[in-house]
Structure 1
Amino acid sequence: MVLTSPVASTPSLGDYVATPERFDECKTPGGKLRPHWQPVANYLQSLGNQGMNERVATIDELVHENGTTFNVDSEEGRAVRPWRLSSIPLVIDSASWAKLEAGLAQRTLVLEAVLDDLLGEQRLVKEKIIPPDVLWANPYFQRAYHQMPSCGGKRLHITATDIARATDGTWWVTSDRTRAPSGLGYLLENRIVTTRVFPQVVRQCNTRRLASFFDSLRSHLRSLAPRMRDNPRVALLTPGHDSYREFEDAYLARYLGLTLVEGTDLAARGGQLNLKTLGGLLPIEVLWRHVSDRKCDPLELDPDSIEGVTGLLRSVREQNVAVVNSVGSVMAQTPALLPFLPAASQLLLGESLSLPNVATYWCGGKKECDYVLSNLDSLVIRPAFVVSGVPPVAPSTLSSSAREELVAAIKAKPREFVAQQKLAHSTTPVWTDNQLEPWYLALRCFQLQTAEGVEVLPGALARVSPREQELDRSHASGHLTMDCWVSSTQPIDTETTLLPPPDAKVALKRSGDELPSRVAEHLFWLGRYAERAEAITRLLRTTIVRVAGENELSDMPELPRLLAALAAIGQIEPGYAVTGLDGTLPRVEDMLPSSIMDRNQPRGLQATIGSMVMNARSVRDRISIDAYRIIQRIGSDSIERTSHAGDNMGRVIERLNLLITDLLAFAGVASESTTRTHAWRFLQLGRRIERADQTAELLDATMVNPVGNEASVCEGVLDALDSMMTYRSRYLNLVRPAPTIDLLVTDETNPRSLSFQLHEIAMLISQLPTGAKIVGLGADEKIASRMLHALRIADPIQLSEIGPNKSRPHLERLLEQLIRGLPSLSDAIAARYLIHTGTTQILTGVSVPEMD
């Protein structure tokens, strides 16, 4: 009998079956492939199932390596989720896109005119085009917004439009984003990843490039500088690392060459907005804000805001800084405005709105409210004044009691609700479970308004889901995102780039003091936590190697000392360091593997790695891409690696080896690929202080109180401090306390010794900026100098001497001085360089959650 293997099926768009009674992006109603999809169809046919699944894995790997994530609120609090990208793009033909592009450009002009009127003359209200309550009942409207000056003659510079396609192929607008639209960074990441995986198909489709849009964006931001300098300082104001915008803001800042700042990095002085740095205040010309309007200035707006800058509105009024988008632009994205935009377009521009809204009803009008209450099953209900990530309510899915509650709420406060007609989204093919399936589609398009007009980004952030209702939420919702290709019948110009022209003149300079203290603080603690993670991992490996060996635990005099050291650094219960309690605790060989995974130990390995990743995320735009990828891998792989190891000691040791390798890789990249600026100095200061602290704690737990056979203890300490090879090269197999103490304490040539750390610390501190009025040494310099002097005058032979009480008193005193002094040194550095202004309280404000 001849056995034959089954032939693998092939992903074919010819076999793809679209959803009946829905517009499909790939196929016509008659089931024919749309011509602009042909290159994609040919490529899918050539791949086969295996090739397609390999591309899916590659995309997931690239997204993972790049650390592409988004933050969402869950029952457990704010959670970090991986970004998901479809292996099949969305392709739109140039003719269809041209019509959509014209409608998007016109809509931007309409919203600009409406916003300018609402914050100025208010003609729309006076002539009853827009009901007064849409403005006056809106909790987002602040009097401070009224008559605020625009910059560059525009209030809206970057806008976004959420659209969906109905069954007849018509595009409908579901909502606008005018405050600080999010998604640009994710859209760009989608294109970069997809291009790397399918480079030939992108070219075959003549896909329009995105670089020209981002080049225009960067040039436009620079052009808005009030003083029109050749190279103005343009900053991107982000809410911070806990925001859902965390990844995107860092990504855009790096890509566009902007300074990423938080509110605590900025100060308004004399009507000028400045960046607070170690070297003083540096003026900011343009601020691209991703902070809510109401949180921009705690002096005039939100009473609890720590995201904005006190005095920012004064700087705007005096036109000393250009803010993009203008403060108050949130008013143009109010859902209650949607029903009145067609009439507003006619009044202000004399034009009909070519890109229609999905039918929207503001319940503040009696006629509209009655209609909504009579047709609930065909509508979805949203808040009237706020755009958030909360999904709309579909009354047709509610229980009778929930429906009655909704009706009562609408009748009680009708102005606070809008209703929208349910929209039937178009579908597009998605590769899932080894087959092509039609999933529902929604797009977010982006527009840039400049002095020359409106430029529409040639593409969109596409979201797909098998469940249509998921697409009614924020841009981070849905099962997958897609790269959106706008195809052309002509070859595409590939010359556009964000690189400056070859003949552009650039003033030469060296980076110096322009480092915000917040960034310096995160870099300092990134260095500390990275070094702490390495110290814990090395000590764990040293201990587990001995526990997993063939010798009895009772025959290893170094083991109690190593356990005491683990207890001292917070990795295991302190009881393991107390003689006589070991019999009441779990066995060491059972406890150690699980301790690696214990996330409840505040100073344990997992908590340390988590803190390391958090600080890296906060300064993502300040560290190299390679360095961040290593940190990302450490954070995501540490739990997976150790959890898969289980109780297998050999696997645990293997996983610890891999973790040490990754930590050393980060240390190497940070050392060899970082310019010697203050950013590098604070990162190194954190590493050196932590290494000195960990070394002092380890020596105090192992070497102060000698045991009968100290050779094994010395070997364990040398192994944990990565100094065994150096010791062997000097002393061969003769392991004794005095040379061990010399190598680890007083030898300034050993990069693992205490003397080496204090020498480096003193040098780094001396290179930090000092105030002109300071005479003599600062508190941090004095502490470092005292500890370095104590080490330099220490005699290793004397340190190794055993006193009458069977301990090493000289070593103990020296280590105690360091263990006390190092935290004081860290506090002194923080007090001198890393203290931020506290929260400013103000008089008025409204607290409502928002999302763009």
Structure 2
Amino acid sequence: MVQAAPPFDVQRPVGKAYDECRLADGTIRPGWQPIVDGFNRRGTQGLQNAAAETERLVRESGANFQTVGSGQSSLRPWQLGPIPLVLDSQTWSHLETGLQQRVRLLEAVLADLLGPQHLLKERILPAELLSANPEYPRTYHELPHLGPRLNISATDLARASDGKWWVTGDRTRAPSGLGYALENRVITSRVSPKLIRRSNVTRLAGFFSTLQEHLNSLSPHRNENPRVAILTPGKESYRYVEDAYLARYLGYTLVQGRDLAVRGNRLNLKTLGGLVPIDVLWRHISDRQCDPLELNPSSQQGVTGLLQAIRAKRVAVANSIGTNLSQMPALLPFLTAASQFLFQETPILPSIATYWCGGEQECKYVLENLDSLMLRPAFFVTRHSALVPAEMTAEEKSELVRKIKANPHQYVAQQRPSRSVTPVWHNGQMQSWHVALRSFHVQTESKIAVLPGGLVRVSPDSASLDQNPTTGRLGQDCWVVANEPVDHETSLLSSSRQPVRLVRGGAELPSRVAESLFWFGRSAERTEIIARLLRCILFRIAGETETSEMPELPRMVAALAALGQIEPDHAIEEFGSLLPALESALPESLYRQDNPYNLRAGIVGMVENAAAVHDRISLDAYRMIHKIHEHLVAPRADLQLDIGTAINRLDGLISDLLALSGVASESMTRTHGWRFMQLGRRIERAYQTAELLLATLQNPILDERPLLESLLQATDSLMTYRARYLLQLQPCAAIDLMINDDSNPRSIQFQLNKMCWLLNELPTEDSQFGLGEDQKLVRQLAHQTLMSDPQQLSETDAKGNRPALEALLSDLIEQLPRVSDLIAARYLLHTGGRQELTGRLTAAAASTLPK
């Protein structure tokens, strides 16, 4: 047998590009040698296993982002390769020094532009960088700042064929990617723990410790344990998952603009327990969106009055508002002259050749050399790709030239960077792909700390790396390797000896979070009851008995239609015969995307509401949610529509839903967040059980025993019933167990009692006396159900109906949505349109079925 060559031995060079792994003669660079040896020992199969494990860990972490392409955006998982980019200590020392110098320069330029403006007066920078800049309101000049203006910044780098590093852009407003760089390290260290320790890789914890200490030091109140919040654009943003990950890792509060309020020139978090002051705000929204009162009046991401709180020095904002000026591409051509003017220094890391079209000679050069350049907006950074004239049609290029000539100061042109290559394991083989590196820095009062490594993207196509990191190329971890063992002492745990004040309760819950947890609970419960009912029906269809010999089946189908899983016409005998047979219709209904009420929609609702509170849900719970999502929603190559596959899929779904419920029951602290999730569950379970029973039992069929067994099975009460009554299936006993029995966690009475207790535990206004309207209504329903007699509920009238049962269940179905609305009105301040989880067929449709 021929032994396969070690994976790195088959790597091929790419043209004249600088090879990060090999010298010109093909030998391995010294910093790479331990890494190459380690992966070669694993062999091809070992690398395949590492790639699969990496993909699994990324998927379980929920790391995803919105990609932009062809004018559309979509959500996709972050992609990470198992092999890191390696930088030796000498290379890193050069980069670190150059990056620290650049941060000092950008800080000084920003201070000058928002202060004395010597650079403009001396014509080092053209005045149009401000006067023609739509991103520059004069309001920025008035704002004080606590500490440096640039607290957290980033620099995009490329290495040319001669090994020289070039800066392709700066990110000084709110750089993205820091969370993904951290996630890359966490996952890679889990996949290759021994290798990362043996290779003397510099740890990242020291950088994040510096970040924490610096943000804490910005607090205007100088308290030892200030409240730091991360202001995120929201779950619709490409960076929301990253923001949630950073908030969880650093122990910060993740907020949106609607969670905040300024009172008495103080920034506060709006919670169920009242207003909680915020000391430091790490903003991840654009400058113009921060305050709709003084900046962009249409902004929904910021908070009214934030600028006034900043002027009063009652809150520190990182980065300070106005820092978008130092990341504008039009600044790049002038940074070398600014460095000479301000510091008498030449930048160690030069900017890539950039031409601002506002200069006459530069504009002429750009128009004459369009095919060798790429064009970007001059004053702001966009997520969209650069314009590449060489790839345009003659008509498109002519239109671009017209636009440049009409508004030359609005454009910059850049030379397309050459990029180094690095080993990448892809599709079972070692390849050389081009590299883009984004570095991150924290500037304190006394130093500039640089993250050892950074965010790495690799691609076989160098041009695709000229786009924003959110375009979705393969990522890699970046290992800065030292010549000797590195310090492993650093920890993010506070070293303060100051005793902390013990607290319990969790009243500091934003109502937006409470709302998402409430609807998460409702979606989860709806998903479970539909899955149970659907599985119960499929079991019967898959059995030996002919469907015509199952008198309970039409009622069960009617209930399934009432819950919204299938078309209502399936529940009516005259129309059902015209529709596809249940054997094909029911399995197909699992995957339909055009039904806003079905099982799949419930899972989507779960995932969306969980994503909105990503930082509040444990990693174990999030893994379970992801697993639930995979059953019916995630794309599958093995999609089948037969009954056996549908039953197996439902078995797995119900098991995972129960596991998720167990995690919530045993692991979640009994705070208001847990209470709102439980309220959602209890309301939905009571409502769906009432719908189910009304659709099936209000006018009895001739032999109800099979129907009662099905209902008890669908409500997970069959085992309890048989333990009490053996095989005697009677309506009175079944109704008692599913409606009246407060010891049965699946009964309606149990849900109402729990709702009464949960509402009593929620905070109330100081001015409120007595019960709230929501509490009154729930107690009324609980009393009404408690006073109902199971024997009377099971009795039929002369017409063959159960009027007492119909009256009770109809009242519950009508009033439970009112309970939800009253809770929303009282606590959930940010509710938009009311979410609907009910089915489309009223239970009255069941009355058309034969008795």
User: So what's the TM-score if we normalise by structure 2?
Assistant: 0.96
Q: Which moved more, 1:12-21 or 1:413-422?
A: 12-21
Q: Which one-letter code corresponds to 2:823 in the other structure?
A: I
Distance 1:747 1:327, change over 3 A: same
Matched, 1:378 2:372: yes
Question: Matched residue of 2:638: which SS?
Answer: helix
Matched, 1:128 2:153: no
Distance 1:77 1:833, change over 3 A: farther
Among 539, 552, 558, the residue aligned to 1:558: 552
Distance 1:485 1:660, change over 3 A: same
1:585-600 residue pairs with structure 2 within 5 A?
A: 585-600=579-594
Counterpart Cα distance in 2 of 1:801 and 1:636:
45
Question: Matched residue of 1:654: which SS?
Answer: helix
Counterpart Cα distance in 2 of 1:642 and 1:768:
42
Counterpart Cα distance in 1 of 2:366 and 2:753:
74
Q: Which one-letter code corresponds to 1:722 in the other structure?
A: D
Question: Matched residue of 2:577: which SS?
Answer: helix
Question: Matched residue of 2:573: which SS?
Answer: coil
Matched, 1:90 2:85: yes
Matched, 1:281 2:271: no
Among 653, 661, 668, the residue aligned to 1:659: 653
Partner of 1:3: none
Question: Matched residue of 1:305: which SS?
Answer: coil
Partner of 1:144: 139
Distance 1:767 1:700, change over 3 A: same
CA contact (8 A) 1:263 1:306 kept: yes
Partner of 2:8: 13
- Deviations along 1:729-776, one digit per CA (max 9) or x if unpaired, are 001111111100000000000000000000000000011001111122
Counterpart Cα distance in 2 of 1:644 and 1:363:
54
CA contact (8 A) 1:236 1:249 kept: yes
Counterpart Cα distance in 1 of 2:505 and 2:351:
50
Matched, 1:708 2:688: no
Counterpart Cα distance in 1 of 2:701 and 2:96:
80
Partner of 1:264: 258
Matched, 1:489 2:475: no
Q: Which one-letter code corresponds to 1:115 in the other structure?
A: L
Counterpart Cα distance in 2 of 1:471 and 1:76:
18
- Deviations along 1:338-390, one digit per CA (max 9) or x if unpaired, are 01111111222232211100011100000111111122222111111121121
Matched, 1:23 2:26: no
Question: Matched residue of 2:375: which SS?
Answer: strand
Q: Which one-letter code corresponds to 1:701 in the other structure?
A: A
Question: Matched residue of 1:597: which SS?
Answer: coil
Question: Matched residue of 1:381: which SS?
Answer: strand
Deviation at 1:124, TM superposition (A): 1.1
Distance 1:770 1:585, change over 3 A: same
Partner of 1:723: 717
Distance 1:188 1:731, change over 3 A: same
Counterpart Cα distance in 2 of 1:195 and 1:112:
34
Question: Matched residue of 2:690: which SS?
Answer: helix
Deviation at 1:836, TM superposition (A): 3.0
Distance 1:361 1:55, change over 3 A: same
- Deviations along 1:88-111, one digit per CA (max 9) or x if unpaired, are 100000011101100000100100
Counterpart Cα distance in 2 of 1:200 and 1:602:
49
Question: Matched residue of 1:644: which SS?
Answer: coil
Matched, 1:529 2:518: no
Q: Which one-letter code corresponds to 2:59 in the other structure?
A: H
Deviation at 1:479, TM superposition (A): 2.9
Matched, 1:206 2:200: yes
1:464-503 residue pairs with structure 2 within 5 A?
A: 464-477=458-471, 479-501=473-495
Partner of 1:45: 40
Distance 1:553 1:75, change over 3 A: farther
Which runs of no fewer than 5 residues in structure 1 stay unpaired? 1-5, 840-852
CA contact (8 A) 2:631 2:649 kept: no
Among 696, 701, 709, the residue aligned to 2:690: 696
Deviation at 1:76, TM superposition (A): 8.6
CA contact (8 A) 2:584 2:642 kept: no
1:393-432 residue pairs with structure 2 within 5 A?
A: 393-432=387-426
**Structure 1 ranges of 4+ moved more than 4 A:** 74-77, 640-643
CA contact (8 A) 1:70 1:81 kept: yes
1:176-187 residue pairs with structure 2 within 5 A?
A: 176-187=170-181
Deviation at 1:168, TM superposition (A): 0.7
- Deviations along 1:113-144, one digit per CA (max 9) or x if unpaired, are 11111111111111111111111111111121
Deviation at 1:54, TM superposition (A): 0.7
Counterpart Cα distance in 2 of 1:9 and 1:180:
47
Deviation at 1:804, TM superposition (A): 1.4
Q: Which moved more, 1:38-47 or 1:461-470?
A: 38-47
Counterpart Cα distance in 2 of 1:701 and 1:148:
64
- Deviations along 1:382-408, one digit per CA (max 9) or x if unpaired, are 111121121112222222222222222
Matched, 1:620 2:609: no
Distance 1:316 1:600, change over 3 A: same
Counterpart Cα distance in 2 of 1:166 and 1:478:
23
Partner of 2:623: 629
CA contact (8 A) 1:464 1:478 kept: no
Question: Matched residue of 1:463: which SS?
Answer: strand
Matched, 1:294 2:288: yes
Counterpart Cα distance in 1 of 2:71 and 2:106:
38
Across the aligned residues of Structure 1 and Structure 2, the Cα RMSD in angstroms comes to 1.5
- Deviations along 1:47-102, one digit per CA (max 9) or x if unpaired, are 11111101110000010111111112456954210110011100000011101100
Question: Matched residue of 2:590: which SS?
Answer: helix
Q: Which one-letter code corresponds to 2:418 in the other structure?
A: A
Matched, 1:101 2:93: no
Distance 1:640 1:227, change over 3 A: closer
Partner of 1:66: 61
CA contact (8 A) 2:211 2:442 kept: yes
Counterpart Cα distance in 2 of 1:665 and 1:502:
38
Deviation at 1:12, TM superposition (A): 3.4
Deviation at 1:790, TM superposition (A): 0.4
CA contact (8 A) 1:59 1:197 kept: yes
Counterpart Cα distance in 1 of 2:341 and 2:496:
48
Identity %: 53
Q: Which one-letter code corresponds to 1:131 in the other structure?
A: P
Question: Matched residue of 1:146: which SS?
Answer: helix
Counterpart Cα distance in 2 of 1:8 and 1:781:
74
Matched, 1:238 2:227: no
Among 150, 157, 161, the residue aligned to 2:155: 161
Q: Which one-letter code corresponds to 2:641 in the other structure?
A: D
Q: Which one-letter code corresponds to 1:37 in the other structure?
A: W
Matched, 1:678 2:675: no
Which runs of no fewer than 5 residues in structure 2 stay unpaired? 834-851
Q: Which one-letter code corresponds to 2:299 in the other structure?
A: S
Deviation at 1:547, TM superposition (A): 1.1
Among 740, 747, 769, the residue aligned to 2:741: 747
Deviation at 1:513, TM superposition (A): 1.3
Matched, 1:32 2:27: yes
Deviation at 1:837, TM superposition (A): 9.2
- Deviations along 1:307-341, one digit per CA (max 9) or x if unpaired, are 00000000001110000000111111000000111
Question: Matched residue of 1:275: which SS?
Answer: strand
Counterpart Cα distance in 2 of 1:695 and 1:125:
72
Counterpart Cα distance in 1 of 2:40 and 2:815:
68
CA contact (8 A) 2:278 2:315 kept: yes
Partner of 1:842: none
Counterpart Cα distance in 2 of 1:289 and 1:54:
39
- Matched pairs, number: 833
Partner of 1:545: 539
Deviation at 1:633, TM superposition (A): 1.5
Counterpart Cα distance in 2 of 1:775 and 1:45:
73
Question: Matched residue of 1:464: which SS?
Answer: strand
